[in-house]
Amino acid sequence: MSTTTLSYSPENRTAGSEWAVETHGLTKRFGATVAVNGVELLIPRGCAFGYLGPNGAGKTTLIRVLLGLTHADAGTMSLLGYAVPKHRDKALARVGAIVDEPRFHGHLTGRQNLLLLAAAREPAARGRIDPALERVGILHRADDRVSKYSMGMRQRLGVAACLLGDPQLLILDEPMNGLDPAGMHEMRDMILSLVAEGRTVVLSSHLLDEVERTCDAVAIVDRGNVIRQGPISELLAGASLVVHVECSEPDRARALLEATNIGAQVDVGMEGLGITLPTGTSRDVIAEINRVLVQGGISVYRLQEIQASLEAWFLQVTSRLGAPE
């Protein structure tokens, strides 16, 4: 288990805790491959939580373990305060989930597929079919066979299936797959509206921009390990500070900056200097950079702090680009 930046209190381990999802040392192996490696994850209730990772990082496997679709090899977990798998039925009663690509019986209509799923839930679920279809925007196609649905419509039907149980926790694995830009926008709005209703939404995705727009907090998983987790704003606050400078004599400017004790990494590019400052650097250093350049006789045309994005931070912390775990 590598670095986890989440605080953890022993009292949170009790049943009925504030966590929607809670895992401790969760491990899942496929032969010699460790798909989920001692994951410690705490997802608070009532937020949109992004679960991020590159392809093959173990995102879907963790979700499958949480939902009881496959067994864990080690560790404990709970959903909505219920230990899983011991109280799996009670835990899943208020959980809705899409795992991988949502697939349904193609010979049935969307409504009939939901009938089949509602029958496996509590009696009241049947009455939620039409509202769920309406909410995801496919009520007008509810009586068409699913084999005629587009990928985006199947995604929506998958979300409708999640809503049948009036879930407190929704786990959506790549819900934006197959959606056009308008569909993604609608999906984002719907997720936000679900969160506004007090539900917890866990969003597994590699679409970092979407996650950044939708989620309050994220966990980054790579090679089965959760390597960072926390609120996006706090995580990004810990990212490196990047300053872009357009100036005359870039090479001399670089030499000037490297001679200082700022500790910056300076790269000369086609459009000027790219200055990467260590994590935790004060913004006063930006003014210091300007001062050094001007005093060195360099004409500064533009100086801009590059806003740290989730994508940049993600690439920085994941090992896919060789960064340390």
Q: Could you give the CA distance from residue 61 to residue 35 in angstroms, rounded to a whole number? A: 7
What residues between 268 and 297 interact with another protein by CB under 8 A? none
* By CB under 8 A, residue 231 contacts another protein: yes
**Phi, psi angle pair for 251, to nearest 5°:** -70, -40
Name, in order, each residue with C-beta under 8 angstroms of 302's C-beta and a sequence gap of 6 or more: 244, 245, 246, 272
Q: Which stretch binds another protein (CB under 8 A): 65-73, 266-274, 275-283, 289-297?
A: 65-73
Q: Could you give the CA distance from residue 206 to residue 208 in angstroms, rounded to a whole number? A: 6
Residue from 197, 270, 280, 284 that binds another protein (CB under 8 A)? 197
Q: Could you give the CA distance from residue 29 to residue 72 in angstroms, rounded to a whole number? A: 8
Residue from 50, 54, 110, 165 that binds another protein (CB under 8 A)? 165
* By CB under 8 A, residue 94 contacts another protein: yes
* By CB under 8 A, residue 95 contacts another protein: yes
DSSP 3-state assignment of 219?
strand
Identify which of 55, 66, 65 has the alpha carbon closest to the alpha carbon of residue 29: 65
Residue from 126, 135, 206, 252 that binds another protein (CB under 8 A)? 126
Residue from 2, 13, 38, 44 that binds another protein (CB under 8 A)? 44
DSSP 8-state class, residue 61? H
Q: Which is nearer to another protein, 19 or 253 (CB)?
A: 19
What is the DSSP code string of 124-147?
Answer: GGGGGHHHHHHHHT-GGGTTSBGG
Q: Which stretch binds another protein (CB under 8 A): 81-89, 265-273, 282-290, 310-318?
A: 81-89
* By CB under 8 A, residue 120 contacts another protein: yes
* By CB under 8 A, residue 107 contacts another protein: yes
Q: Cα dist. 265→92, 237, 321 in Å?
A: 50, 19, 18
Residues of the shown chain interacting with another protein in the complex, contacts defined by CB under 8 A: 5-7, 16-18, 42, 44-47, 49, 64, 67-70, 80-81, 88-97, 99-108, 112-113, 115-124, 126, 161, 165, 168, 195-200, 216-217, 229-231, 234-235
